[in-house]
C-alpha cells in the first residue's frame, strides 16, 4: 500500500507540474498576441491559475496542439470554458476518491441481528452440512429395518448440529490462513463480521446438544461416532492440512462416517452394509476433492496448505482415477452383501463408467477443463448413485422371509439328525 501511495504521489506531482507549465505557456501566448484585449482576457486566466493552485488532484491532461495563427477572442473564450468545465468535473470526482480512500481504511464491524442468521450459516458451511445430513439420511434409509420417523428426525438433527460445530471450529482455527486465499477470504471470521468468542460459543451450542441427541435420543454408538468425527475433523484433519498430504485421506474418512452413523442410528449395530456405504463415500471424495483442488492450486499454495495438487500433482491425478474405478467394484459388492438386488450394479454401471472416463481424462490431460468437468460430474454422481441404490434395495420383508426359510430348513435338518 505504501508503494502504491508513493507511486500515486509522484504521478500527481508530475501531472500538477505539467498543468502549471501549460497555464504559464498559455498566459505568455495570450499576452503576446492579444495585448489590446489583455485586460478582458487575462482576468479569467488569472482566476483559473489561482483555481489550479488550489487543486491537488489532476485527472486528465489534454494534449496541446501547436498554435501558428493568432488566437481570436471566441477561441480564447472556448478554451476558458473548457478549462472551467474540467475544473468543475475535478470538484465532483474528488469527493468520490476521498470516499474510496475512506472505504479502504480499517473499520469496526458492527453485528446486526438481521445479518446474524446468514453469518452463522456461512460459519457452519450450511451447504456442506446439508450434504452430510443427506448422506446420513441415505445410510438410515438403506438399513434393513422398518423405518422409524422419530428416530430419523432426531438422528438427522443431531448429525446436522455436530457438522455445524465441526465446521465452525475449523474456521476458527484457520482464520490467518483463510485470509490469504481468494476462496476463503470472505468468511465471517476473516472479515471480522463475528468475534472468535461468539464463533466458539456457537460451536459449543451446536456440538453439545448434537452429541447429546445422538447419544440419548438414538443410541450410544451413533453418539460416539459423531463425537469421534468432530475430533477427527478439528484436531486431526485441520492441522494436517499444513503438514502432510495425508490430510486428504483423513478428510475422506471424515466424510465417510455420516452414512455409517445413519446406518447405526437405524440398526444400533455396525454391519457390513454400513462399511459398504462408508466405502462408497470414501472413494467418491477423491475424484471430487482432487478435481476441486486442481483448480485452486495457487490459492492453496498461497494459504500454506499441503495438498496433493500442489506438491504431488501426478499422485493427485492417479488417486482420483483409482477411486473412480473403485466405485464400480463397490457397486458390485452391494448385492453380494445382500443389501441391494443385482439390478443395482447393472443400472449404476453407466454413471460409474462415465465418472471413470472423466477421471481418465483428468489423469491424461491434467488441465483445468478436465478437472472442472470431473468436479461437476461428482456433484450429481453421488446423489444419483445413492438414489439408484435405494430403489434397488432389498426389502425388509424379503429378508425376513429368507431368514425364516433358512431357520425352518435348519430346524428340519436338526430333526433328521436326531434319533
Residue 291, phi then psi, degrees to nearest 5: -70, -40
210 in Cβ contact with 160 (< 8 Å) = yes
101 CB-contact burial (10 Å; exposed 0-12 / middle 13-18 / buried 19+): exposed
Give the pLDDT of residue 405. Answer: 44
The residue to which cell 483445468 is assigned:
368
Question: Tens of pLDDT along 224-243?
Answer: 999 999 999 999 999 999 99
Give the pLDDT of residue 417. Answer: 44
Give the pLDDT of residue 395. Answer: 75
Strands (E) across 144-211 are located at: none
211 in Cβ contact with 162 (< 8 Å) = yes
Give the pLDDT of residue 115. Answer: 84
- pLDDT averaged per 10 residues, the chain (length 419): 50 62 68 52 48 48 46 53 55 49 56 84 94 95 92 96 95 89 88 91 95 95 96 94 92 95 94 94 96 91 89 94 96 93 94 96 93 95 95 72 48 43
Three-state DSSP class for 397?
helix
97 in Cβ contact with 57 (< 8 Å) = yes
291 in Cβ contact with 371 (< 8 Å) = yes
Give the closest residue to 76 by CA, choosing from 18, 19, 33: 33
Give the pLDDT of residue 98. Answer: 47
The whole-model pTM stands at: 0.70
Give the pLDDT of residue 56. Answer: 47
What whole-number distance in Å separates Cα of residue 308 and Cα of residue 246? Answer: 9
In sign, the C-alpha dihedral spanning 372, 374, 375, 377 is positive
Distance of CA 60 to the CA centre of its chain: 41
Give the pLDDT of residue 85. Answer: 58
Amino acid at each position: 500500500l505504501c508503494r502504491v501511495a508513493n507511486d500515486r504521489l509522484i504521478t500527481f506531482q508530475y501531472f500538477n507540474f505539467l498543468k502549471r507549465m501549460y497555464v504559464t505557456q498559455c498566459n505568455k501566448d495570450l499576452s503576446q498576441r492579444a495585448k489590446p484585449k489583455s485586460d478582458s482576457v487575462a482576468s479569467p486566466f488569472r482566476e483559473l491559475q489561482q483555481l489550479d493552485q488550489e487543486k491537488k488532484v489532476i485527472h486528465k491532461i489534454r494534449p496541446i496542439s501547436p498554435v501558428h495563427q493568432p488566437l481570436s477572442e471566441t477561441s480564447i473564450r472556448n478554451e476558458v470554458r473548457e478549462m472551467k468545465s474540467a475544473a468543475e468535473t475535478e470538484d465532483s470526482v474528488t469527493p468520490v476518491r476521498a470516499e474510496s480512500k475512506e472505504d479502504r481504511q480499517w473499520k469496526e464491524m458492527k453485528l446486526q441481528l438481521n445479518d446474524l442468521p446468514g453469518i452463522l450459516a456461512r460459519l457452519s458451511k450450511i451447504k456442506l452440512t446439508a450434504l452430510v445430513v443427506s448422506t446420513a439420511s441415505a445410510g438410515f434409509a438403506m438399513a434393513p429395518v422398518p423405518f422409524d420417523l422419530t428416530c430419523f428426525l432426531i438422528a438427522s438433527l443431531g448429525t446436522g448440529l455436530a457438522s455445524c460445530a465441526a465446521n465452525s471450529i475449523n474456521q476458527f482455527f484457520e482464520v490467518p490462513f483463510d485470509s490469504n486465499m481468494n476462496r476463503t477470504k470472505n468468511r465471517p471470521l476473516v472479515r471480522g463480521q463475528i468475534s472468535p468468542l461468539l464463533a466458539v460459543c456457537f460451536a459449543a451450542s451446536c456440538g453439545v446438544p448434537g452429541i447429546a441427541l445422538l447419544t440419548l435420543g438414538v443410541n450410544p454408538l451413533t453418539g460416539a461416532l459423531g463425537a469421534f468425527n468432530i475430533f477427527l475433523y478439528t484436531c486431526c484433519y485441520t492441522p494436517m492440512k499444513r503438514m502432510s498430504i495425508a490430510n486428504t485421506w483423513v478428510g475422506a474418512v471424515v466424510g465417510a462416517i455420516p452414512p455409517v452413523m445413519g446406518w447405526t442410528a437405524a440398526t444400533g449395530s455396525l454391519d457390513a452394509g454400513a462399511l459398504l456405504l462408508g466405502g462408497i463415500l470414501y472413494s467418491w471424495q477423491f475424484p471430487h476433492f482432487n478435481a476441486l483442488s486442481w483448480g485452486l492450486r495457487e490459492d492453496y499454495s498461497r494459504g500454506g496448505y499441503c495438498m496433493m495438487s500442489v506438491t504431488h500433482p501426478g499422485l493427485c491425478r492417479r488417486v482420483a482415477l483409482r477411486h473412480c474405478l473403485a466405485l464400480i467394484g463397490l457397486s458390485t459388492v452391494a448385492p453380494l452383501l445382500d443389501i441391494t438386488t443385482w439390478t443395482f450394479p447393472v443400472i449404476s454401471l453407466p454413471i460409474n463408467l462415465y465418472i471413470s472416463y472423466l477421471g481418465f481424462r483428468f489423469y491424461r490431460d491434467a488441465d483445468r477443463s478436465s478437472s472442472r468437468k470431473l468436479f461437476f460430474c461428482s456433484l450429481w454422481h453421488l446423489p444419483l448413485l445413492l438414489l439408484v441404490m435405494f430403489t434397488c434395495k432389498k426389502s425388509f420383508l424379503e429378508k425376513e422371509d429368507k431368514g425364516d426359510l433358512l431357520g425352518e430348513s435348519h430346524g428340519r435338518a436338526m430333526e433328521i439328525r436326531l434319533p
